Amino acid sequence: MLLFENLVPVSRTDAILKRLLALHPKLIDLSLARIERLLGKIGHPEERLPPVIHVAGTNGKGSTIAYLRAFLEASGKTVHVMTSPHLVRFNERIRLAGKLVSSRRLNQALEFCEEANGRDPITFFEITTAAAFKLYAEVKADYLLLETGMGGTYDASNVVKDPLGVIITPVDLDHQAFLGETIAEIAVSKAGILKRGAKAVFGRQRDEGRTVLVRHAARLGITPKIMGEDFDGRPEDGRLVFNDENGLLDLPPPALFGAHQFDNAALAIAATRHFGLPVTEAHIAEGLRRVDWPARLMPLTGTLASLLPEGSELWLDGGHNAHGAAALAAALGDMQARRPMPLVLIFGLMNTRKPADFLAPFKGMAERVIALTIPGEPNAHDKAVLLEAAKASGFTAEASRSILNALARAGETRPAPRVVFAGSLYLGGHVLHQNGTPPS
């Protein structure tokens, strides 16, 4: 992933985004006032959107949206999507009627918003969200799947007043400096996207988060559907078995890897049924087979994989917090049980994450850990910090100067290893770029 303030612009889009970063000194400053001001100047496109499904939570937002998109497109519907962050190109954040926004159209929308905003302070995420809403209002589609950037109440996406439905994926500890130090405090922020009159579906929650979400929903007259209570999904004989008040579905397994993806898929299925989307069981089955969401426990072939010894495996995962690390470790544990291989973890982290917390789930599993400074990211932990944390946690660890060097060192493992890049979507973007397989 590219941080534009640290790059010499290589395209018109990069040059525009670099200018937008200079409009507000803080990269994150949660508020709705600035984006509401700008949306007013550009004609309130947020009031002219197709039916919106708004998604918040700590982990699983993007995967849940990927399933919803796959189900709806299998039914013949056209879908706008907004997600963040991107991996290689900013265009990945904005999907118009099924296709990534073109650079020409993106540049026009960004420059329109830049001119309308003038020199008024506004964060990068706020002004780019305004540009996205402008595009979504201009291009016809049946639905908009809208992911929050951070939190909920004061996230720029929360200017949508009447969503068709709201999904809150599992709430866990992340971004504590902005959202609160406890799960309950973070849940308060996530609950901010709930709206009176909009149906809601909640993922599997910890007790303290569930209590907050349900209480907030009750104040708005909402009776949410909750995973583990009103519906559930589980792997059974290689299939996904889903059940809710309407009965049981016997479905193919998700195309995305990991046991946690059964939960994400079940959450999306529950939303399609509860929100009354025009999706049949056959559409859900087709969507499960063809769903795609890059850098989420993704097997890599091609350039980078060819650098490893024959018989090796190469994987990429963008999970970046303790909850995501636990899900990754569980999925790798299943792989190791089916086909044992030496596991080499190549990881990089942003400095808002605690290395020991991320590494803890891999104890007793990773044979080697290779620490890497995420290229081009001034807010990444230095590899020396990560190396010290890995050694203090009891891992056999070393540091590497680059992605290619780390891969070469991992390839020295015998027998042929299972190598996993992990710890950050920022790192994931650089890996996909070097592999020549950017999202499309």
Q: What share of the chain in percent tops pLDDT 70?
A: 97
Give the three-class secondary structure for 234.
Answer: strand
In sequence order, the 6+-apart residues with CB closer than 8 A to the CB of 261 are 63, 254, 296, 297
Q: What is the mean pLDDT of residues 137-141?
A: 98
Distance between CA atoms of 242 and 251, rounded to whole angstroms?
8
Amino acid residing at 224: P
Q: Do 206 and 220 form a contact (C-beta atoms < 8 A)?
A: no
Amino acid residing at 201: V
pLDDT at residue number 109:
98
Structure tokens at 2: 């590219």
Q: What share of the chain in percent tops pLDDT 90?
A: 88
Distance between CA atoms of 233 and 246, rounded to whole angstroms?
14
Nearest to 413 by CA among 362, 359, 328, 345: 345
Q: What is the mean pLDDT of residues 215-241?
A: 97
Q: Is 1 a residue whose pLDDT tops 60? A: no
Nearest to 366 by CA among 307, 315, 303: 315
Pairing, β 298-299 against β 313-316: antiparallel
Q: Is 176 a residue whose pLDDT tops 80? A: no
Q: What is the mean pLDDT of residues 212-234?
A: 98
Q: Do 177 and 143 form a contact (C-beta atoms < 8 A)?
A: no
Which band of pLDDT confidence, cut at 50, 70 and 90, is reported for residue 10?
Answer: low
Confidence (pTM): 0.91
Return contacts of 213-216, CB within 8 angstroms, 24+ apart.
Answer: 213/168, 213/171, 213/187, 216/188, 216/191
pLDDT at residue number 6:
37
Which band of pLDDT confidence, cut at 50, 70 and 90, is reported for residue 222?
Answer: very high
Q: Is 5 a residue whose pLDDT tops 60? A: no
Q: Is 149 a residue whose pLDDT tops 80? A: yes
Q: What is the mean pLDDT of residues 224-228?
A: 98
Q: How confident is the model over 376-419, as pLDDT tens digits?
A: 888 899 999 999 999 999 999 999 999 999 999 999 999 999 99
pLDDT at residue number 24:
85
Q: What is the mean pLDDT of residues 316-326?
A: 90
Q: Is 4 a residue whose pLDDT tops 80? A: no
Q: How confident is the model over 261-282, as pLDDT tens digits?
A: 999 999 999 999 999 999 999 9
Q: Which domains does the chain have, with CATH numbers?
A: 4-290 (3.40.1190.10), 298-435 (3.90.190.20)
Distance between CA atoms of 83 and 86, rounded to whole angstroms?
8
Distance between CA atoms of 349 and 318, rounded to whole angstroms?
10
| Residue 2 or residue 219, greater confidence | 219
pLDDT at residue number 249:
98
Q: How confident is the model over 13-31, as pLDDT tens digits?
A: 999 999 998 888 776 787 8
Distance of CA 239 to the CA centre of its chain: 24
pLDDT at residue number 27:
67
Pairing, β 225-226 against β 231-236: unpaired
DSSP 320-367: -SHHHHHHHHHHHHHHHHHS---EEEEE--BTTS-HHHHHGGGTTT-S
Q: What is the mean pLDDT of residues 321-343?
A: 94
Instruction: Tell me the average pLDDT of the chain.
Output: 94
pLDDT at residue number 93:
97
In sequence order, the 6+-apart residues with CB closer than 8 A to the CB of 227 are 201, 202, 203, 204, 205, 233, 263, 266, 267, 270
Nearest to 341 by CA among 310, 385, 372: 310
Q: What is the mean pLDDT of residues 304-309?
A: 95
Which band of pLDDT confidence, cut at 50, 70 and 90, is reported for residue 178?
Answer: confident
